[in-house]
Chain A
């Protein structure tokens, strides 16, 4: 038996009153099965039924009572809406102009709200996320926050701060997953066994870690993220209990997390979690080494952050007393886990939200302007209504209902605009955001964003509809009945339109100036020399599993072979490895001492630690300032040497020859051998273009081969085009070895500018929109004024005025308004730019070039917007006008 159309049935079930659903849908189904209805006809009848029953219900009012005729809420609203819809159909040009304007304004606002909501407001998917906190190290002397604590500090906090319900720690571990068709690198973490309980997220399948797995010898286990489970194990629930090959070792999968579980935040989202076994007593007593870990805590419900912070301070002070060699000057700060990225993106987002709000205001102003003009044109209709007994409130209500309809249609179109914009944004996010930002799934249209669209649409209808409606229904309505009267609109209406022009130009000018400042900020960033040449350089990362590459010699040999093989590829000019590339978001730093400059334990100076192969400086074109680069003789058995950068020389060996000075890596009591400085290289910006260069120490890779290294290969053409060949070369050395983070060095630098690029792009987009809206607004007002003054111009021309005089008259009137707007806008921008000073770089908030450029641009646009109607005014045919 054919089934009736399911969607139509569902619609009827959802939309028909309960009492009507059964007989109506039953009748249709019966006719369907009797074979008398086509699918199209079933649909038509179903929709017609819904419409007629809904209309009947509206007409009766909510209580089922039939309202008194002529008045009463829903019925008249319905009438007004129907009338409004008819008007919209009859004036397609007006409707299109208003709807497109509103769609842009509302769409842009919805998109930005959707972004802010997903990235800043939407709570993280943990139990009571407000009570989950990062515990970050706070260095008193420099006033800086560091993300990691030591495991000893974490244990002390867990044991001694009762305001913290629990404390967990985790460490990032690169892990190579093998055993499938192709080796894969996954984002893996070692986590204390209590982490999942602390976050309060139960697994989807299996279990999370048990306490015994958190102790040494407690056995290894793996919990998978939902994404990895789906990608690698085809979402098969029976993987729980099976083994997986992690870095060559077999580990049993014990659980799978649900899709909404994203942890950690503010670092690579984990795909695989393994227990971090801690011998707590041994670490506390110093028998076992303490290591560095990121620490999260759950603040006990009802205690509050302030009280918890006080206890944390007390614990950290005790540690300072007990272990001055490691803990001097170290405190710890609690911060709600969801608030940490707000610190960075929050201010920029606020500016963008303001900008997009301005765009909406301009859109509303333009539509209001259209409605004002139409209100004058409809003067006669409204006067007739008033004469027939419609009260002022009744007329205002009718006009507002029309505005509402316009706004809702604009809002619906705006939702479509936002959908496209948000999808584009999602794919445009750089890798580092995609892999670290939680809640990206919320970035799209959802009930919350659509609710926002609806609210904005209704609010916009009131904003742009109220003044024209009151104006049109004003006390002078009866004047509209007289033939030819009120043609220019009342004086008050004209003044209102002038105010509209000034206001629009003001806002557009201010926004353009702010946008210009952001663009200049981005340009200034691009002008910064990062200290290396990112052009045509391919980069990627390799992480050797410790089981197969247990000895330093094996690792050194792998990377030396890889560097040599890559460098010998056709089209590769030079290639080298380093443990952390600039702008890779990875960094390494450590304490050191200079021979002859003793440092107190715990207060050793710190420098960036780089382990590089011989070809690295050449491939990156990092200039050698003094001495020599690494050479083949700096092998594992060669004399220990180091190269430092200029920032190091300035900070630590100023005033003497750095070459030949000896440094020792590690703390003051480090057993490491002293290294002779053999060269000085130029400074490289590592984390951000705007951050100053930090002191750096380079050591030869062969003397300190870290398991994870990053390749820099200078190519002859498009670097990404060489990725496949390089990957093949690596895999020929070791087929089980994945490569990752494959991208050009320019992309690497560009991703670090993501915030600046996004801010500049969005501000440019929105200020361009604002400019366009303002231009249309100015044009509309002036053109309308000209059309209303045709008679006057005709008289003037007949009395001997030259067309040029008329043109000048109109132009002068319009440009006066535009000039007032530009001045007011510049003043507004001057005030507003103080507030965004912190987001600018290399350009002052009062940057004269930006202000001048924007003023000239707006002057030109304004002149064009006024010029066209002015020119038309000058060409008025006096005879034809006077005859009208």
Chain B
């Protein structure tokens, strides 16, 4: 089992945490990532990655209600589990440690 998170996985976990609790479903996660990073991801790619995270016990999901805007199709809501938060924290820490002291030269903090 991998003990690190890929970049896209981190983006996803952060997006779920950024969105208010119940609103964290695919389309909302996607727009959140797009709004903050300008990055456009296909829903299929998002669900593939989320599926992987779920099987690793980092997030959990439940099926929500269908809405007319969705053509009667149900949403899948996501929630970050403690293990996910811990791993995300660790990954962010590691990145931060790697970047420490570089700011004067590169602007990376």
A residues bordering B, Cβ < 8 Å?
A: 4, 9, 16, 20-31, 33-34, 36, 44-46, 48-53, 56
Pairwise interchain contact A26-B44, C-beta atoms closer than 8 A: no
- Among A22, A36, A52, contact of B74 (Cβ-Cβ < 8 Å): A22
Pairwise interchain contact A48-B45, C-beta atoms closer than 8 A: yes
B2 to chain A, nearest CB (A): 11
Pairwise interchain contact B45-A30, C-beta atoms closer than 8 A: no
Smallest CB gap from A45: residue in B:
B42
Pairwise interchain contact B73-A33, C-beta atoms closer than 8 A: no
Pairwise interchain contact B70-A29, C-beta atoms closer than 8 A: yes
Give the interface centre of A23, A30, A31, A53 by most chain B CB atoms within 10 Å. A23
Residues of A within 8 A of B66 (CB): 26
- Among B30, B63, B71, contact of A25 (Cβ-Cβ < 8 Å): B71
Q: Could you tell me the distance between the alpha carbons of A21 and B42 in the complex, rounded to whole angstroms?
A: 13
Pairwise interchain contact A23-B26, C-beta atoms closer than 8 A: yes
B75 to chain A, nearest CB (A): 6
Verify if B4 is at the interface (C-beta below 8 Å from A): no
Verify if B48 is at the interface (C-beta below 8 Å from A): yes
Q: A24-B26, A27-B27 are known contacts. Are A33 and B69 too (CB-CB below 8 A)?
A: yes
Pairwise interchain contact A28-B48, C-beta atoms closer than 8 A: no
Residues of B within 8 A of A45 (CB): 40, 42-44
Residues of A within 8 A of B71 (CB): 4, 9, 25-26, 29
B3 to chain A, nearest CB (A): 16
Smallest CB gap from B71: residue in A:
A29
Q: A23-B26, A23-B75 are known contacts. Are A29 and B69 too (CB-CB below 8 A)?
A: yes
10 nearest CB pairs, A to B: A49-B44, A26-B73, A48-B42, A26-B70, A27-B27, A23-B76, A27-B26, A52-B44, A52-B45, A56-B48
Pairwise interchain contact B73-A49, C-beta atoms closer than 8 A: no
Residues of B within 8 A of A25 (CB): 71, 73
Q: Could you tell me the distance between the alpha carbons of A50 and B31 in the complex, rounded to whole angstroms?
A: 19
Q: Identify whether the interface residues of B are mostly helix, strand, loop, or mixed.
A: helix
Chain B, interface residues (CB within 8 Å), range: 20 to 34
- Mark out the residues of chain B between 22 and 81 whose CB falls within 8 Å of any chain A CB in the assembled complex: 25-27, 30-31, 40, 42-45, 47-48, 51-52, 63, 66-67, 69-71, 73-76
Pairwise interchain contact B48-A27, C-beta atoms closer than 8 A: no
Smallest CB gap from A51: residue in B:
B44
Q: Could you tell me the distance between the alpha carbons of A45 and B44 in the complex, rounded to whole angstroms?
A: 8
A261 to chain B, nearest CB (A): 42
Q: Could you tell me the distance between the alpha carbons of A26 and B70 in the complex, rounded to whole angstroms?
A: 5
Pairwise interchain contact B73-A23, C-beta atoms closer than 8 A: yes
Q: Could you tell me the distance between the alpha carbons of A31 and B75 in the complex, rounded to whole angstroms?
A: 13
Residues of A within 8 A of B43 (CB): 23-24, 27-28, 45, 49
Q: Could you tell me the distance between the alpha carbons of A28 and B70 in the complex, rounded to whole angstroms?
A: 8
Q: Could you tell me the distance between the alpha carbons of A52 and B52 in the complex, rounded to whole angstroms?
A: 13
Q: A27-B26, A30-B27 are known contacts. Are A20 and B44 too (CB-CB below 8 A)?
A: yes
Seed contacts A9-B71, A33-B69, A49-B45; 7 additional CB < 8 Å A-B pairs:
A20-B44, A23-B43, A23-B73, A24-B44, A26-B73, A28-B43, A46-B42
- Among B30, B51, B63, contact of A27 (Cβ-Cβ < 8 Å): B30
